[in-house]
Structure 1
Amino acid sequence: MNRLGSANSPYLLQHADNPVDWWPWGDDAFAEAKRRDVPLLISVGYSSCHWCHVMAHESFEDAAIAAQMNEGFVSVKVDREERPDVDAVYMTATQAMTGQGGWPMTVFATPDGDPFFCGTYFPRDQFGRLLASVTTAWRDQRDDVLKQGAAVVEAVGGAQMIGGPRAPISGDLLAAAAQGLAKEQDQTYGGFGGAPKFPPHMNLLFLLRHHERTGSADALEIVRHACERMARGGIYDQLAGGFARYAVDETWTVPHFEKMLYDNALLLRVYTQLWRLTGDLFARRIADETAAFLLRDLGTAQGGLASALDADTSGVEGLTYAWTPAELAEALGAEDGAWAADLFRVTEPGTFAHNSASAPIDGAADRMKGVEHGKSVLVLARDIDEADPAIVERWRDVRQRLLTARNGRPQPARDDKVVASWNGLAITALAEHGVLTGSAGSRDAAVALAEVLADRHLVDGRLRRVSRDGVAGEPAGVLEDYGSVAEAFLAVHQVTASPRWLTLAGELLDVALARFGSGDGGFYDTADDAEKLLTRPADPTDNATPSGLSVVCAALVSYAALSGSTAHREAADAALATVGPLIGGHPRFAGYAAAVAEAALTGPYEIAIATTDRTAADPLVEAAHWSAPGGTVIVVGEPDRPGVPLLADRPLIGGASTAYVCRGFVCDRPVTTPGDLADRLGQSPTER
């Protein structure tokens, strides 16, 4: 009997009609495996994962394969986005056994959950042979299987990074990190490394802050180059905005089409800050379009932002997004169709046969299962933002008409569960975008999303990780949820000057320190009273999303600056020291931690602006937001506003709005003009 029909996870519900007797993760599945004396088959994936869909169609929907699974195993489906703790434990095991990981993840384990054989995607015939081999080994070579499981468990336990070396944050350490990234930069196409190529949002955020602190022109140019190439590539949706998860080639041309909330939230911050620092029109456009994508395409009816759009449409990856010259002509007419084909590099051979230089993209067609040859992904062949106004207007008209035509096609599915940590990342990004661009829509959305998390995900002082259809799920929040949501609440506190958000952030951080702290400055990813797993995960590396440790450090640094709590700052410094060696030696896997370290090393600045009218467009407030380096905390409100420590004892000078600039809890004399404030911050006020 398949038991997934009552699940709340869209991923599990995708498998509710499989002939496999799936169980959700839980004690009942373990008990059933013990009762039947058979192994567990734990399959981990997520709803927008292309190869998860492929394995489902090939194997889990196949009656013969399902019969093998039902006879020899208790099969358990896990949504990695809903249970990142379970995913982390078994991913460590998979990497220990195979040297690599990914999704779908396939784990064979004892009835106690100890893994003894791990892998990722298996084609149908290979998977069938593997099932038969594991069944035979469990029956005839049980002792060897158990020994293998014990060895894997030992390897997983040894992979924990609690109690490792320390390196206090310093300018030299962050300079080494920036230099390490510069060495790995792809100087031709931007970003780091080769194919597949992921948007390095956290590393770019670090480099922007490093540029602000040190004046490094190289750091800024690395960011600008990567951002321009990504935004002109196929990884960026040239019609609707929003970035795909990654590109299968080094040129950013062929995307893996799934769009994730967390990528777009982090990239929104990067493009917003790049525009603040450079005034580049393309950066402002991409920031605006990404914010619009988040709210338009991921907003749910009950509030909150959905987690992802699928890579596939009707079982074909990229079906919604690819075009032929004939399709452009049909949508636009012959003249505009030919113009669009040239601008968006749509050719008769198609993207999947040729790249922009008319050379084959290695393996792209094989990786794009189902997308027919002759189709092209839209890329921007040349700069448009600085073009003649008439060309820009034509481009805007063509984009809208193509988007209207595309909206008439079958659309990718949407995973509409609301993930606390990813919504937290989006709130912080929208708050920054709203403040800097003056977008009331972004500011209001940030506040509204914070209300959703506070009212729906915060239950009896503890966070729930997911909600769907307005109902919070059972999985407990992990460390990244506490850190991201606390950081988001602090961003909203700065936007609103409401003490509620500062109080809630402090309460979340107190839970993080008490329940997740390791006792040596570091953090575990699960609480001390959470479900006991094979091992207690503690991964400080920044990968697809910031690590729990990194976002908790970010929130601790900001909270200390906003509240005056030295204890929280000391906790942040101790935690950052645990990832210091990672920042210095492997900066690509510590981008968010390095960005937080830059803010901590800068101070961060604490700016209080006392005013009698928060609604007016105050030049002093604008100067603060434009001149202050990343990581600065800024609160605007009436003097001595109750519950807002940064505004305590901050009188108006001469009846005018007055700015107080502090660092490390030490303040300069107050100023009342934008120029004086910019001087305090070491920058000249910039007009946009």
Structure 2
Amino acid sequence: MKEYLFLTLLSLFCVLPCFLSNASAMGDENAQPEQGPRPATAGRNHLGETTSPYLLQHQYNPVHWYSWGEEAFEAARDQDKLIFLSIGYSTCYWCHVMERECFENQEVADWLNKDFIAVKVDREERPDIDEIYMTALQLITRGRGGWPISLFLEPNDLKPVWGATYLSKPDFINFMKTIQAKWVTDKKVILDRAELVANAVISRLTSLQAPVPLTSDVVTNGVSALLSRFDSDLGGFSGRPKFPMPIYSDFLMSAGWDIPQVHKAVKKTLDSMLMGGMYDQVGGGFHRYSTDAKWLVPHFEKMLYDNGQLVSTYAKAYELTGDPSFAKVIEETLSYVDRELSAPDGGFFSAQDAETNHLEGETYLWRESQIRETLEAAGMEDEIDFILSVYGVNTGTNFQDPHHPEEPPTNVLYFTNHPEKLASKNKMSYEAFRARVDAINLALLKVRDTRDQPLTDDKIITAWNGIMIAGYAHAGKIMQNEVWVDRATKAANFILSEMKLSNGKLLRTWRNGKGGTEAFLIDYASLIRGLLAIYDANRNQKMLDAAIVLYDKARALFYVDGEGWYDTEKGKSDLFVRTRALSDGAIPAATSFILGDLIALSEATNEARFLTDAIATVDSESQLINSQPLAAVVATMHLNTLFGSHPEKFNLTWEPSLGDTSMVRMTCENVSLQVAKGESVTFNVTLQMAKGWHVNSNNPVSEFTVPLAFKSLDDNVTLKIDWPESELMTSAGEKVAVFGGSVSIPITATANANANGMVTIMASWQSCNESTCLEREDTRVPCAIIVE
């Protein structure tokens, strides 16, 4: 309600937007301040000492850039100037365009240097700043966003006044003149607007949610919603542009794999991506997204986090299907990462640019004549017609640079059909087809590597490395490749040794031996996920121990009891709001990752505290999961895991299906418990009955029914059971005491002096409904007592 009020006020509070629009229409003589731009005063650009490749790209601009920090803020306050904030990243195409048109231009620089304090931020180094001001931008522009972010801030509390994304030189100069005039003549209007925008941002990013009950309907609704979005013709879950969104396929494979439509949606989507031009057919690895609906023409930048997530997704799909084309994508993508995104010291670089020589995708594109020349030079003339057909080049060009129409049309390479069908069409086995294409790709890549290459952003980001570490570990485990698990371990060891401070905190970034800012929750959560993936692959205890230490540090820094997880530490003076983003994007929300970490830690350690924190984390975002399961789809996926492993935590009712052999689900808080000889240990066993079913109690009254009972198979361990109160009902014509719904039963096990080793506990019960009873069941309790 508060945010609605803020947005309503924003829509009414149009003094500045209207002023800006009118100024744009009035022309320069009415828009500019009384004085024209003065030549830049003596000064220097402040970006030369940073670790960010993006900021370093701007170090020689005539704009007197500052990096984000007190030096810039003090200058703005001392000089009573608005701050111009520009947020981007090194591989951002339109960031480069705005730099060439505006920030390298002396006239623009003169205006900026005279009337504003210009601040440049790398969104990859400071995701907290990006989150806050992207939210502000979307509020200001009614939902539009993107990079570069171009915002004007008031200098005192750094609250946003007005903003846009890319601006051309004429628009930018006009807006600078207009907003500066307003700052001089009517400062109160600007400050009031900044307060209004800031309040709306705070409302959106910090609102606390009271826990709501969650049922399996949430997961079902999420699967149904995603299937309703599925593009059955082209794959994917949206129109153009199409982003890979591996988290959608992950969710479907985890929560709905027994549904035929899910098989089709996942297989079609993953097949379409590996066949299209969004996948680099020659060099391996995925580009950022497809600009069209058919996965053909990509936006050519390559991001570490995309490729790391996609490797994990294709590995899971390979595990479920055994499809060799999925295995091939994994092999080629990891080969690409090894070749082009691997730092010598063990970490992974961040990304590669979309453009080369100011041209989108120039390095990756091919003309037919270039392919012919390459294969002729390699002595592979007989392969020319084959590969022109396989990659669709024989049907004509498919790419025209939209930003440079003077450039001749050319080709993005793509598979014209699924590789297995192409093999069959060419009367070859799949293996022979792949070997033939591999040999041709090797020749093409050799020539492609001689071209000018896109910029590689060589900073190491902890969160993104965690994603790729998990990708290597997941693939290594599933495909039984120890080399990949070792590569994941090498990267993990680099982060733990070079990017961890003496106080236990992590760094967000590292470049050329120099650390950047301290890490955020997403960095801890993602790295923990990678460490646990290594542990799952090879039981490396060092990785598990490191994950536990990092979790404890993250909890101390970012968790607030009764509220949940925050993305940033408390008390950061350079932020007007402490963010807690719950929605997943191209990278899942930190809270989503940490929830998965907690489930994995609970399973790996049997420590109840991790499960307790997992349930509290679910509670903190339960409103969002309940109302929009796809907005927090990764958390919804992990919730489904908890439904299966700990239904007692949610008081669920469940409908039996044909595959269910029992009407009872039994769980324990702890999988394994230690007890010393002569001592006792207490644990809880929970029985969850299917809808309409119950079990007879320990004292069912009727002599013709089977009572619920627990028994130790070791005579040296005795059990004392604290039976809960039962209810009396009529079952199969008899009055009987029963347990229905969910029942938790405390059991105390006592070991005598002769007990030793692992002790198995058995449970026996009889399931009944109102008309019939099933045969007695004897089942092992899913927790073991270990006598030490």
TM-score (norm 1): 0.83
| DSSP 3-state at the match of 2:347 | coil
Which AA in structure 1 matches 2:195?
A: A
Q: Cα distance, 1:535 vs. partner? A: 0.8
Q: Cα distance, 1:582 vs. partner? A: 3.1
Which AA in structure 2 matches 1:377?
A: V
Partner of 1:378: 413
Which AA in structure 2 matches 1:227?
A: L
Partner of 2:227: 182
Selected match of 1:445 from 487, 507, 512: 487
Asked if 1:423 corresponds to 2:468, the answer is no
| DSSP 3-state at the match of 2:561 | coil
Partner of 2:685: none
Selected match of 2:392 from 325, 345, 370: 345
Is this contact kept in 2: 1:419–1:465, CA < 8 A? yes
Selected match of 1:297 from 334, 340, 345: 340
Partner of 2:383: 336
Selected match of 1:481 from 523, 536, 541: 523
- Partner Cα distance (1:89, 1:25) in 2: 14
Which AA in structure 2 matches 1:382?
A: N
Partner of 1:631: none
Using a 3 Å threshold, how does the CA distance of structure 1 residues 532 and 523 change in structure 2: closer, same or farther? farther
- Partner Cα distance (1:147, 1:488) in 2: 45
Selected match of 2:592 from 550, 556, 560: 550
| DSSP 3-state at the match of 1:301 | coil
Is this contact kept in 2: 1:349–1:373, CA < 8 A? no
- Partner Cα distance (1:180, 1:669) in 2: 43
Which AA in structure 2 matches 1:384?
A: P
Which AA in structure 2 matches 1:102?
A: G
Selected match of 1:509 from 514, 528, 551: 551
Asked if 1:211 corresponds to 2:246, the answer is no
Q: Cα distance, 1:52 vs. partner? A: 0.6
Using a 3 Å threshold, how does the CA distance of structure 1 residues 234 and 304 change in structure 2: closer, same or farther? same
- Partner Cα distance (1:669, 1:268) in 2: 40
Which AA in structure 2 matches 1:211?
A: G
Partner of 2:306: 263
Which AA in structure 2 matches 1:517?
A: Y
Partner of 1:107: 151
Asked if 1:141 corresponds to 2:196, the answer is no
Is this contact kept in 1: 2:285–2:332, CA < 8 A? yes
Which AA in structure 2 matches 1:144?
A: V
The CA deviation string for residues 480-518 of structure 1, in whole angstroms up to 9 with x for no partner, is 111111122222233343333222212221222222123
| DSSP 3-state at the match of 1:504 | helix
Which AA in structure 1 matches 2:305?
A: Y
Is this contact kept in 1: 2:51–2:515, CA < 8 A? no
Partner of 2:541: 499
Which AA in structure 1 matches 2:124?
A: E
1:169-248 correspondence to structure 2 within 5 Å: 169-212=214-257, 215-248=258-291
What RMSD over aligned residues (CA atoms) do the two structures have, in Å?
Answer: 2.4
| DSSP 3-state at the match of 2:575 | coil
Q: Cα distance, 1:294 vs. partner? A: 1.9
The CA deviation string for residues 28-73 of structure 1, in whole angstroms up to 9 with x for no partner, is 1000011111100010000001111111111111111111111111
Using a 3 Å threshold, how does the CA distance of structure 1 residues 449 and 529 change in structure 2: closer, same or farther? farther
Selected match of 2:583 from 534, 538, 541: 541
Is this contact kept in 2: 1:196–1:246, CA < 8 A? yes
Is this contact kept in 2: 1:55–1:121, CA < 8 A? yes
Partner of 2:325: 282
Q: Which runs of 5+ in 2 are unaligned?
A: 1-43, 648-670, 672-745, 748-757, 762-778, 781-788
- Partner Cα distance (1:420, 1:245) in 2: 20
225-234 or 574-583, which deviates more? 574-583
Q: Cα distance, 1:341 vs. partner? A: 2.0
Selected match of 2:135 from 62, 84, 92: 92
Using a 3 Å threshold, how does the CA distance of structure 1 residues 369 and 147 change in structure 2: closer, same or farther? farther
- Partner Cα distance (2:270, 2:646) in 1: 26
Q: Cα distance, 1:188 vs. partner? A: 1.2
- Partner Cα distance (1:155, 1:490) in 2: 38
Is this contact kept in 2: 1:210–1:219, CA < 8 A? no
The CA deviation string for residues 436-469 of structure 1, in whole angstroms up to 9 with x for no partner, is 1121221110111110111112112111101112
Selected match of 1:400 from 442, 451, 476: 442
Which AA in structure 1 matches 2:636?
A: A
Is this contact kept in 2: 1:331–1:337, CA < 8 A? no
- Partner Cα distance (1:584, 1:47) in 2: 37
Partner of 2:515: 472
1:594-633 correspondence to structure 2 within 5 Å: 594-603=636-645
Which AA in structure 2 matches 1:306?
A: F
Using a 3 Å threshold, how does the CA distance of structure 1 residues 271 and 500 change in structure 2: closer, same or farther? same
Partner of 1:520: 562
| DSSP 3-state at the match of 2:614 | helix
1:647-686 correspondence to structure 2 within 5 Å: none
- Partner Cα distance (1:497, 1:413) in 2: 38
**Which structure has more strand as a fraction of its residues?**
2
Q: Cα distance, 1:165 vs. partner? A: 4.5
The CA deviation string for residues 558-578 of structure 1, in whole angstroms up to 9 with x for no partner, is 111111121211211221233
Partner of 2:732: none
Is this contact kept in 1: 2:138–2:145, CA < 8 A? yes
- Partner Cα distance (2:117, 2:205) in 1: 28
271-280 or 482-491, which deviates more? 482-491
Which AA in structure 1 matches 2:359?
A: V
The CA deviation string for residues 628-655 of structure 1, in whole angstroms up to 9 with x for no partner, is xxxxxxx9xxxxxxxxxxxxxxxxxxxx
| DSSP 3-state at the match of 1:394 | helix
- Partner Cα distance (1:479, 1:133) in 2: 39
- Partner Cα distance (2:396, 2:81) in 1: 52
Partner of 2:54: 11
Q: Cα distance, 1:529 vs. partner? A: 4.6
TM-score (norm 2): 0.73
Q: Cα distance, 1:589 vs. partner? A: 2.8
Selected match of 1:116 from 142, 147, 161: 161
Larger-gyration structure (1/2): 2
Partner of 2:603: 561
- Partner Cα distance (1:583, 1:379) in 2: 38
- Partner Cα distance (2:214, 2:542) in 1: 32
333-342 or 565-574, which deviates more? 333-342
Using a 3 Å threshold, how does the CA distance of structure 1 residues 462 and 349 change in structure 2: closer, same or farther? same
**Percent identical residues:** 33
Q: Which runs of 5+ in 1 are unaligned?
A: 354-364, 606-634, 636-664, 671-678, 681-688
| DSSP 3-state at the match of 1:77 | strand
